[in-house]
Amino acid sequence: MEPPKIWRERRERYLGIGNKCLDCNEKSFPRTDYCLKCSSKNIEEYKLSKTGKILQFTQVTQPAQEHIFYSPFIIGLIELDDGIQVTGQIVDYNYDDVKEGMKVRMTFRILSIDNEEGLIKYGYKFVPY
C-alpha cells in the first residue's frame, strides 16, 4: 500500500465522505472529480449516513492474501438511510444469524495490514445493532 493513496482516501474510508453535485443534487460515493450524472465539476463533500440496512450479503471464505487473517468474513450490500448503496464487511455477527433488512451502523476497523513493518489501513465496516 502506498502512503499517498492511503492518505488521499482517508476521509472516504474513515468518515464515508463522497460528494454532492451543486447543480443537479446527485450524491455519489466514492468521491469523483465531477458529477456522474450531469458531469458538472460544481461539487462539494457529502457525508454518508452512518446507519442503514442490509440488502444482500455473502460469506467470503477464499479472500485475497491481504485479508486472509480475517477470513471467513461477511461482505454485504448496504442501503444507507440517505438511499446511497455501499458495500462493506459485516462484523461482530455470525453468518447464520445475519438477515436481509437487518439494521447496521458504521464501525471503524482494520481493513488490511501490509506486513510486520507496513502501514495499517483503517476504514469503515458495518455492525448490526
**Interface positions with other proteins (CB under 8 A):** 10-11, 14-15, 69-70, 91-92, 107-111, 120, 122, 125
Cβ burial, residue 26 (10 Å; 0-12/13-18/19+): middle
Please report where in the chains the cell 489501513 appears, as a residue: 121
> Which CB, 33 or 117, lies closer to Zn ion?
33
Q: In the chain, what is the straight-line distance between the N-terminal and C-terminal CA atoms, in Å?
A: 32
Q: How far apart are CA 82 and CA 116, in angstroms?
A: 39
Footprint of Zn ion on 32-51 (CB under 5 A)? 35, 37-38, 40
Nearer to other proteins by C-beta: 15 or 60?
15
| Shortest CB 56 distance to other proteins, Å | 21
Nearer to other proteins, 34 or 91 (CB): 91
Q: Which does 68 bind (CB under 5 to 8 A by kind): Zn ion, other proteins, none?
A: none
> Which of 60, 120, 63, 46 lies closest to 90 in space, CA to CA?
60
Burial zone of 106 (CB within 10 Å; 0-12 exposed, 13-18 middle, 19+ buried):
buried
Using the rule CB under 5 A, is 26 a contact of Zn ion?
yes
Nearest distance from C-beta of residue 43 to other proteins, angstroms? 19
- The interface partner of residue 14, options being other proteins, Zn ion, none and the CB cut-off 5 to 8 Å by kind, is other proteins
- Residue 3, SS3 per DSSP: helix
102 binds Zn ion, rule: CB under 5 A: no
